[in-house]
Amino acid sequence: MTGTAASIAQQDQEIPDIVAGLRATFDTGATRPAAWRRRQLRGLRSFLTNHTRAIEEALYDDLRKGRTESHLTEIGGVLAEIDHALRHLERWMKPRRATVPMNMKPATARIHPEPLGVCLIIAPWNYPLTLTLNPLVGALSAGNAAVVKPSELAPATSALIAGLLPRYVEAVAVVEGAVEETTLLLEQRFDHIFYTGNGTVGRIVAAAAARNLTPTTLELGGKSPVFIDETADMAVTARRLAWGKFTNAGQTCVAPDYVLVTPAARDSLLSALPGTIREMFGPNPRTSSDYGRIVNDRHFQRLTRLLAEGKPLAGGPSDAAERYIAPTVLTDVPHGAAVMTEEIFGPILPVLTVRDVHEAIDFINARDKPLSLYAFTRDRAARRALLEKTSSGGIVYNAPMIHLGVPNLPFGGVGESGMGAYHGKTSFDAFSHRKPVLSKPTRPDTLRLIYAPHTSRSFAFIAKAVARTHPILGKER
Ligand code: NAD
């Protein structure tokens, strides 16, 4: 939805009021108690369970997501995050003791997590439910108020969230809209901005946040590579690869973007993939209820241009009327082709050959740091080399994407793939300030040795303390 001049003018008035209202609520302290946080999490849960059918329909309308896929990657994922937070909330909220060094004793120290205030969550279209609500689980667990801005490119899910979510949670406002509305939102002062989407807009968000020194989490994307060698179990590798690549028609931030395969593994991989795709989506994936569509015409046009950059081993056909692109595997792709320089974000899988893991590492390191790196290999030295000699948001051996389902693993990028992380306790931390609290009794006054006037006794004491903590400085005296 792009706002008309009149509706933007209205939003202009409304958005500052919405943020001011949330700030007033936050300032009452109402959002801090564990009971309030639990009530919001249960409210989120009820939103999902009371409107499951409507959510499934919205996801189908936006992306033709199948029912099972919607439960696996959207509804189920959010429910799992909510339940994990409900299970651990009290423990996360507890202040943690910190040890005090000898020269500071007597004193007690603890770290007290406190909510940040009013947070802004800006979501993308590809997992329009999960990527709107999962950060909200973190914001509410941590006791914040929040403005949620779903993606205008998934209009059915955006409308559903705007229409129904506010009935289930307090201190949450949903603002629908596109660039104009988001720009207005970014003009407000928030205490944290959590953005998921592409790096170009990520830079706009970071620049706007800098004006108010607002901390940001940027969950971005990029090209997530897959390394495969001859020690891999090829039947399972092909299945997992096809599942990871063609779920949501490849429109997944952590989808395998391209494959680097060793010469000894290439033929068996290439002979397994077409049959695996047929097993999953039938001889005509267009008729499969498990295969999605490209989100809009712009992305469809972009992807059909990429289709022409290699030789299709499987797939190839597309249909503009339905925004359908068949699950496609490309070989003979030049390294400089757009399909190898841009994030693909669609059902196209280029397969390139590399001599060995070392060439794969050089290839990966010559590009932006990926959000995820996948390696199908039983060779421990190869796994270790990939782990230690490359940098990526995360690394998974023998499967794509499933690390998102482990709440104890922080999920986020590094470098071009983003900054900050969330999921589970990491979400709670992302939306909290870890406040250090130090309490020092006044008697005995052990600080008296650091007050002026400094005497030879205080010098001896301080020199000794410095020598203990900084041996080199101590020697210089
Ligand atoms: P999108 O077009 O829906 O944009 C994301 C959000 O930014 C939307 O809410 C949109 O309204 C807003 N926006 C767009 N232009 C803006 C502007 N000029 N100013 C302010 N706000 C603006 O989604 P997208 O960016 O196409 O999403 C796809 C990208 O996101 C891919 O690169 C993908 O890898 C990445 N992604 C990352 C993750 C992750 O968890 N790291 C998850 C999903 C997608």
- CA nearest ligand 1 atom 43, residue: 253
**One domain for residues 165 and 91:** yes
**One domain for residues 281 and 205:** no
Q: Which atom of ligand 1 is nearest to the CA of 197?
A: 30
Task: Choose one of 193, 196, 344 to mutate for the ligand 1 pocket test, by most ligand atoms within 8 angstroms of C-beta.
Answer: 196
pLDDT (tens digit, 0 to 9) for every residue of the chain, 477 residues total? 344 444 455 566 699 999 999 999 999 999 999 999 999 999 999 999 999 999 999 999 999 999 999 999 999 999 999 999 999 999 999 999 999 998 899 999 999 999 999 999 999 999 999 999 999 999 999 999 999 999 999 999 999 999 999 999 999 999 999 999 999 999 999 999 999 999 999 999 999 999 999 999 999 999 999 999 999 999 999 999 999 999 999 999 999 999 999 999 999 999 999 999 999 999 999 999 999 999 999 999 999 999 999 999 999 899 999 999 999 999 999 999 999 999 999 999 999 999 999 999 999 999 999 999 999 999 999 999 999 999 999 999 999 999 999 999 999 999 999 999 999 999 999 999 999 999 999 999 999 888 999 999 888 888 887 887 766 654 554
Assess contact for 258 and 224: CB atoms under 8 A: no
The burial of 283, by beta-carbon neighbours within 10 Å (0-12 exposed, 13-18 middle, 19 or more buried), is given as exposed
Rg value, the chain, Cα: 26
**One domain for residues 429 and 401:** no
Express each pLDDT in 426-444 by its tens digit.
999 999 999 999 999 999 9
Residue 440 included in any domain: no
CATH number of the structural domain spanning residue 86: 3.40.605.10
Task: Choose one of 15, 126, 161, 342 to mutate for the ligand 1 pocket test, by most ligand atoms within 8 angstroms of C-beta.
Answer: 126
141 within ligand 1 shell (Cβ under 6 A):
no
* Strands ordered across the beta sheet of 328-331: 311-314, 328-331, 348-353, 256-261, 224-228, 372-376, 394-397
Distance 197 CA to ligand 1 centre (A): 3
Helix (H, G, I), strand (E, B) or coil at 48: helix
**One domain for residues 61 and 160:** yes
Name the token pair of 8.
């933007």
Assess contact for 206 and 190: CB atoms under 8 A: no
**One domain for residues 193 and 243:** no
**One domain for residues 131 and 233:** no
Residue of 226, 216, 221 whose CA lies nearest to 368: 221
**One domain for residues 255 and 379:** yes
**One domain for residues 272 and 330:** yes
Q: Which atom of ligand 1 is nearest to the CA of 204?
A: 19
Residue 173 included in any domain: yes
Token match 């590492």: residue? 361
187 within ligand 1 shell (Cβ under 6 A):
no
Active site residues: 219, 253
Residue 442 included in any domain: no
Q: Cα(325)–Cα(302) distance, rounded to whole angstroms?
A: 11
Q: What is the pLDDT of residue 2?
A: 40
201 within ligand 1 shell (Cβ under 6 A):
yes
183 within ligand 1 shell (Cβ under 6 A):
yes
Residue 417 included in any domain: no
| Reduced DSSP (H G I as helix, E B as strand, rest coil) percent helix, strand, coil of the chain, to 5 | 50, 15, 30
Q: Cα(112)–Cα(243) distance, rounded to whole angstroms?
A: 43
Residue 360 included in any domain: yes
Distance 149 CA to ligand 1 centre (A): 11
295 within ligand 1 shell (Cβ under 6 A):
no
Distance 96 CA to ligand 1 centre (A): 36
Residue 1 included in any domain: no
Q: Cα(311)–Cα(261) distance, rounded to whole angstroms?
A: 16
CATH number of the structural domain spanning residue 247: 3.40.309.10
Q: What is the DSSP letter of 239?
A: H
**One domain for residues 138 and 283:** no
**One domain for residues 101 and 204:** yes
- CA nearest ligand 1 atom 6, residue: 124
Residue 469 included in any domain: yes
Distance 21 CA to ligand 1 centre (A): 27
**One domain for residues 200 and 78:** yes
Assess contact for 382 and 232: CB atoms under 8 A: no
**One domain for residues 186 and 291:** no
Task: Choose one of 120, 125, 130, 216 to mutate for the ligand 1 pocket test, by most ligand atoms within 8 angstroms of C-beta.
Answer: 125
Beta strands, E only, 394-473:
394-397, 418-419, 432-439
Beta strands, E only, 356-419:
372-376, 394-397, 418-419
As for how many domains the chain has, the answer is: 3
Residue 306 included in any domain: yes
Give the domain range for residue 231: 224-412
Express each pLDDT in 339-348 by its tens digit.
999 999 999 9
Q: What is the pLDDT of residue 5?
A: 47
